[in-house]
Amino acid sequence: MVEPALIKAAQAGDREALVTLLREIESQVYRTAYYLLNNEQDALDASQDALIRIYTKIDSYEEKAQFRTWVQRIVTNICIDKFRRKKPAVSIDEHDMVFQAGDNVETEVLSAYAAEEIREAIGKLPEHHRTVVVLRYLQDFSYNEIADSLNLPLNTVKSYLFRARQQLQTLLHDYQKGGVRG
Amino acid sequence: MICQEVMELMQRYIDDDLDQQETSLMMDHIGQCPDCAAMLARLQKLSSELEQLPRVVPRFSLVDAIMPELERLHASDSSGGSHNDSEVSESKPIVRSRRPARHLYGKIAGVVAAGVVAGLLLFSNPGQWTLGGSGSQNDAAGPEMSQPGVQAQRGQDPAAKITTNDVRLMDQSESKNGSDAGNGENGSNASGAENSGEGGSAGLAPPLNAPAPETPVEGSNEGFAPLVDIPATWAESADGQWKAIAVVDAGTFQVYKTGEKGEWYTSAIRDGKISLLSWNESSTILYFTFTDAGGTETQWQFDTATSTESLR
């Protein structure tokens, strides 16, 4: 958690404080970008963009919001923009991955790939469902914190999260039953 | 209590959002309903797996990476400039200079390259086209010929190299670096040059004696005896100067100019399928049909004079 005093100093123009603050949040920013974009290079780009935006926009942060939800709003917006711009490319990439995985799936121990399977399944969710899941599980956000970050009503957040978990459960369950993918 | 209602309770239970009464309601139902009990077990397993996803960290310090950019922003701020979005976006080329590779583009490039190879196979074997003689035989041969090419070349490195041009083309929109854009048009790659050079000297003429096509694009080629046997996948212009080929599965097409090495133009990548390629009578405009992922068809044209694609 970032100290309120550090944020105040950064907002007051203390550049050292601002850089220290960015160092404290870079991992959490990257983590969200990584799980939203499902690609290391894109995540590195998006999180650098997000940190620069935080650097330039620190003045616009208001104390009534939690700092970490404000940060996550910035990084999720950047990722969603990126995701939308890249959509055609991403779908081709996914086809490619399915082809490759189809060949060796029977011979592998399924459980050893749990994390990767889950990450891949998250990548198949619609963007809002994906974002809610990432904030809930990779940032440990509450319903309310997710709602604040995404500027969504609480009930919408719940419904996205519940549907996302049902979809993930179906995707992973099908997969474990018989390698049904796609 | 119906299972659908219990689903919501189970979901909230996983998030520790139930009070005691709701919890006992849910438990009562689960005690009698094996389906819901199984579902709860799966959801709990999923949730704990999600909680255990690796807390990935960047492989280098992001703040260090953007420090030169922050310095620049700081300097322009101190000298009276103010922060704004345009300033941030101007900075992108610097930030992106750390980008070592473009995985996505690389994979697309493979598909595009496969299409190039498939296309070159067609061009460099005119004999197979003329041998066929009748339009109907050629129609049947087209898709089969292109498929093996695609499969054989998928994922091979030399094939991927062919399309470094395409990557640059795609990248132009976000890159403001002029030197990147310059290479977009000429095929400076070894294998592409080899193949197309060979094809060029061998004479690229496809059969000129083809009967009228079965699937003309309405209106676009009136009075023009098309030279195209397979309008769905490729087309040669009336003056023989241009050839266009749709890339299987990649939603792009490529244009080749007789006597020039490599692809002359590669289209933007679309999420869908490109078909019904045909040239106008004066061999300046390529018409094509784009079918998007949802099955909606739109008619497009590509103007060789301006290298632009537009809706008709």
ipTM: 0.83
**B88 closest CB neighbour out of A53, A136, A165:** A53
Residues 47-86 of B with CB under 8 A from A: 47, 49-59, 61-63, 65-67, 69-70, 73-74, 83-84
Q: Is residue B222 over pLDDT 80?
A: no
- Predicted pLDDT of residue B149: 39
Domain that holds residue A145: 4-178
Q: Is the dihedral of CA B126, B132, B133, B135 positive or negative?
A: negative
* B299-308: pLDDT as tens digits: 888 888 878 8
- A38-53 pLDDT, tens digit per residue, is 989 999 999 999 999 9
pLDDT of residue B250: 66
Beta-bridge partner residues of B303 = B285, B308
Query: First CA to last CA across chain B, in angstroms?
Result: 57
SS3 call for B235: strand
Of B280, B255, B274, B281, give the one whose Cα is nearest residue B266.
B255
- Residue carrying the six token digits 């992922």: B293
Calculate ∠ Cα B109-B100-B72, nearest 5°: 130
∠ CA(A73), CA(B97), CA(B309), 5° rounding?
80
CATH number at residue A46: 1.10.1740.10
Q: What 3-state DSSP class applies to A165? A: helix
| Nearest residue in B to A56, CA atom | B83
Tokens of A85: 């711009």
> Based on C-alpha coordinates, what's the Rg of chain A?
18
Give B-chain residues touching A165 at CB under 8 angstroms.
Answer: 11, 14, 43, 46-47
Query: For residue A167, which residues of chain B lie inside 8 Å, CB to CB?
Result: none
Domain range summary for chain B, segments of one domain joined by +: 3-51, 104-311
A25 Cβ contact partners less than 8 Å away, ≥ 6 residues apart:
A2, A51, A54, A68, A71
Q: Averaging pLDDT over each range in A65-69, B215-219, B237-241, which range is the top one?
A: A65-69
Set of chain B residues whose Cβ sits within 8 Å of the Cβ of A52: 66, 69-70, 73, 88, 91, 95
Using the Cβ of A113 and the Cβ atoms of chain B, whether some distance falls under 8 Å is answered with no
Give A121 to chain B, closest Cα distance, Å: 11
Paired tokens of B216: 């003309």
Among candidates B43, B74, B99 on the partner chain, residue whose Cβ is nearest the Cβ of A41: B99
Q: How many separate domains does chain A show?
A: 1
* Mean pLDDT of all residues in A116-129: 92
Instruction: Provide the Cα torsion B131, B135, B140, B146; round to 10°.
Output: 70
CA distance B192 to chain A (A): 23
When computed from its CA atoms, the radius of gyration of chain B, rounded to whole angstroms, is 28
Residue range A139-151: mean pLDDT, rounded? 96
Q: Is A98 on the interface with B (CB under 8 A)?
A: no
**Cβ-defined contact of B103 to A39 (cutoff 8 Å):** yes
- Check CB contact under 8 Å for B104 and A55: no
User: What pLDDT band is residue B32 in, cutting at 50, 70 and 90?
Assistant: very high
Residue of A nearest to B67 (CA): A19
Does the beta-carbon distance from B269 to A57 stay under 8 Å?
no
Task: Look up the pTM and report it.
Answer: 0.51
Would you call B124 helix, strand, or coil by DSSP? helix
Euclidean distance between CA atoms A52 and A35, whole angstroms: 20
Share of chain B above pLDDT 90, in %: 21
| Contact between residue A20 and residue A5 where contact means Cβ atoms under 8 Å apart | no
- Whether the CB of B291 is below 8 Å from some CB of chain A: the reply is no
